[in-house]
Structure 1
């Protein structure tokens, strides 16, 4: 193989499974360089999930070696259930995979999207991400220990998905004012966020918004945010009387607005079918028959698709 040119060697390396590629990388500096510069920069290596089947055969040593070599070229990274993957036995004696801190210390100079599903995420880890992921455009986290502190360090962030977190209102104001956010999801946040969003000038850039327990099914938000095209509102343990009251307020609001809402509102989707159908009728959309009568204490999700403020329709 030493007599072959680089193109031939890369062609051979690409046919090998990842385990064998790592063996080749350890065998000679030339193979390591070609793998890092050409083979491991292919699309399937730039978008990596720790649950990917190609990583399962790797030993812990090879797994760490692969991440250390390829992290600078990664563009998307999805980290799921790190604790379960780290331990092979219930006693935790056999470490099979590195813990969360390992992933956060890598060089992610080209990373665009990062998704971490780990309840141990905290503010200090967000600070570490801000220092190593300068190009990050999208961040998804879910942890009660995320308060919004240090998130402003992600200066290029356009998408923040942070359900079931504890984002504090002062930090939320900073996020909306300082970051170019277009998609924000704070569903089931510990603190009510609707008033802060309505008061912030930065929220007018939002195109997609998710939150819980919004007033009047989110119509005030839809009316106030000019760029919004998708609004997801969830409710927990809403009584039938509360739903009827909100429906009546919504009906009056739409009636006062003449044809404004039917023109802007494209569809309403929800897993509480009675409310979904009622809102469709209120907004003047196509009427459908209820499929099944759900329990009123189910989680309610309403999705609004609003038209483009410039006059066109967004699909």
Structure 2
């Protein structure tokens, strides 16, 4: 192991233990469970300098009968703002960020913080869903599949959440690229087509995960100052790797396919933040091996990142990955 930690850029870790936007409790346990599974120590063993800032105040899901079509929007906004504050201080120090969610709505905080730093922001959204629903288009009230709609300020979204940042909308359609999506409702498809949101669907990613990631790096990602990556564990086939909140089976990416793509995406020199969300620690093997496998693979993927390498060390991986 190369002793590069003293000069490498520190990775700021922020926990967002909230399931406010979820369908049920579980995701609020993920930040603690990932740490207990050894994620921070594994990253340090890989030579990454880690600045673990602990958790922002969280929330365990419960029924919000007063707002059945947009449950706990105020709480989700509060968690997102707290995450934005922590991430903003890290971005000001030019440190990359790893967010341990929590449900998908925490991404609004990361986007808000990145936008405030100046420069252009691009978001690679790894998820089987496109999260473009609104309280008007779906009746279940779970905000975790409405997050992108709130980033774009789609009509019918909840002001408390859509206005997390200092500008609305937080992003324009050209700043989002879907990666691995497959579950798209008719209203979402209408929005995607009308706004021209880019994407590489599940079938294309499964056919060649590395080539799909190279397509992102070679073209779309290069136009931005700050590249954000949103990793929703729901993109995984639950039978192959039962870690996510959603238990969809025989549908989604295999774990090795996801990690093959993620390893390349993290090589982007403009990568600024990775958000991991929708992990339910109550799923997976009872002995904790599923979480430990996830943590080990994530630590190894992050260790390859150009942003986390000592400046004086060569980075042959990036130069060869785009050929």
Query: TM-score normalised to the size of structure 1?
Result: 0.25
Higher relative contact order (CA 8 A, sep 6+): 2
Query: TM-score normalised to the size of structure 2?
Result: 0.24
For the pair shown, the structure with the greater C-alpha radius of gyration is 1
